[in-house]
Amino acid sequence: MYRILKKQKLNASVVRMEIEAPLAAKHARAGQFVILRADARGERIPLTIAASDKARGTVTVIYQIVGGATMSLDRLEAGECVADLTGPLGRPSAIEGLKRVVVVGGGVGCAIALPLVRALHEQGSYVVAIAGFRTAEIVILEEEFSALADEFYLTTDDGTRGEHGNVCMPLARCIEGGKFDAVFTIGPLPMMKFVAKTTEPYKIPTIASMNPIMIDGTGMCGCCRLTVGGERKFACVDGPEFDAHLIDFDEAIARSRTYRAFEAAARARHCNLYQRSENEGGRYE
């Protein structure tokens, strides 16, 4: 069992949780993730390590409440325990030797961008961080990015906070105004696709962190497969970071939509079963 030390709501649906996991904390590096289960009957949830503290033996994860598994996780409070936690998994971010870097995060993907910005800052790189959200109400981690990045740009689609527009606008200005060794992007698939299109004419190495549906985290289930440079890859073991200019984003988006349709149907069935049990005065298991 892994004890929860802290729990903090970042917005209406996004939560930060610090968990005791000494072995994971000892080996964790930026870009890696863990898989956890809220309870012994729960689903496996892959979550990027937002921070780790080797001295305290803790890892911090940030999750969005979007379905049954994350709802179960969110029922737990500080002092209680998650049943299982495995990791770190995946390949760490390849940042050694990078001097000037842009990191672009979108929505809850900013939780994945933050540890990368922190790692780059700690190795002495010049870091430009760009964070994009739909509206001011869902902005997260603004203070943390401001404290770590040499330059920080915040955008919202509706202009209620920061710059009115999308992340590609400040990104284009940055790469036109200076030389960068790499661009990293983490967020919704369409956003990462257009970040890659923005950087491609400049021939700037661009890395996308891919977070498709994942079950076992070992490459056995095949759910997280992607096409990168015409080859089949698995995000859990080959990634989660890949050359964004080689990723077949259209295929990844189509697969994501298929899974979301199945998820919506399953969630509707779950809610119907729960409501039927409540109406009959029974207990839903």
Tens of pLDDT along 257-272?
766 655 555 555 555 5
Whether residue 122 is predicted with pLDDT greater than 80 in this model: the reply is yes
- Is 120 in a helix, a strand, or coil? helix
Name every residue whose Cβ is closer than 8 Å to that of residue 285 and which is 6 or more positions away in sequence.
none
Is 106 or 66 the better-scoring residue by pLDDT?
106
List C-alpha distances in Å: 237 to 43, 213, 224, 245. 20, 13, 10, 20
Contact indicator for 193, 202 with CB cutoff of 8 Å: no
pLDDT at site 283: 39
Mean pLDDT lowest among 13-27, 103-117, 249-263: 249-263
pLDDT at site 261: 55
**What top-level class would CATH report for the domain 100-252?**
alpha beta
Mean pLDDT lowest among 24-28, 201-205, 269-273: 269-273
Q: What is the CA radius of gyration of the chain?
A: 19
Mean pLDDT rounded to a whole number for the chain: 88
Contact indicator for 128, 151 with CB cutoff of 8 Å: yes
Q: How far apart are the C-alpha atoms of 269 and 276, rounded to whole Å?
A: 10
Residue type at position 203: K
User: Which residues on neighbouring strands pair with residue 208, listed in sequence order?
Assistant: 185, 242
Mean pLDDT lowest among 176-180, 206-210, 215-219, 223-227: 215-219
Per DSSP bridges, beta strands 126-133 and 45-53 are: unpaired
List C-alpha distances in Å: 37 to 20, 40, 85, 190, 211. 14, 7, 7, 29, 18
Is 212 or 262 the better-scoring residue by pLDDT?
212
Q: Which CATH number fits domain 2-89: 3.90.600.10, 3.40.720.10, 3.40.1110.10, 2.40.30.10?
A: 2.40.30.10
Whether residue 191 is predicted with pLDDT greater than 60 in this model: the reply is yes
Q: What angle do CA 9, 11, 13 make, to 5 degrees?
A: 85
For the chain, what percentages of helix, strand and coil (3-state, to nearest 5) are there?
A: 35, 30, 35
Q: How far apart are the C-alpha atoms of 132 and 134, rounded to whole Å?
A: 7
Unique residue bearing structure tokens 């994942």: 214
Tens of pLDDT along 112-121?
899 999 999 9
Whether residue 126 is predicted with pLDDT greater than 60 in this model: the reply is yes
